[in-house]
Amino acid sequence: MEITKISNDNFTLQKQGNDYVLLMGEIKRDTPRPFTIKISGVEDSSKVAISPKCGCTSIDRTVIDGNTLTATLAYKNCDKTFVKTVEIINNKKTILLKIQGTCRN
């Protein structure tokens, strides 16, 4: 399973071991900052679970084909500095996407 960033913004996606980190930089509190990722190399894209534990305001999934899907998430409930985790689960394998940034009022 692999994650790539496909949205047009200044966020940076980095791979750390088997997991990923999305560096959002500074975001404004209560202003949704959506981002879109592509998840590829899965066995059945219709069965990929995306955990809402991150506090994301929305999760929109689109199946591209049997092995690929996109997911758009938005995050706005930030505190001074934040690290939130999204779990992406496929066939009992979990990858973590950590969302990091700072918040301004």
Average pLDDT, the chain: 86
What local confidence, expressed as pLDDT, does residue 80 receive? 79
**What superfamily in CATH does domain 2-104 come from?**
Immunoglobulins (2.60.40.10)
Structure tokens, 97:
């996407």
pLDDT by residue (tens digit) across 50-105? 886 666 766 788 999 999 999 998 877 777 778 888 899 998 899 999 988 888 87
Q: What is the pTM of this model?
A: 0.85
Helices (H), 32-79: none
Domain ranges of the chain: 2-104
pLDDT by residue (tens digit) across 35-48? 899 999 998 999 99
| Whole-number CA gyration radius for the chain | 13
List all residues 6 or more positions away from 69 whose beta carbon is below 8 Å from its beta carbon: 38, 39, 42, 45, 48, 61, 62, 63
Structure tokens, 57:
């305001």
Helix H or strand E segment including 35: strand 33-40
| DSSP single-letter state for residue 93 | E
Rounded average pLDDT over 21-40:
87
Q: Which residue has the tokens 């500074």?
A: 26
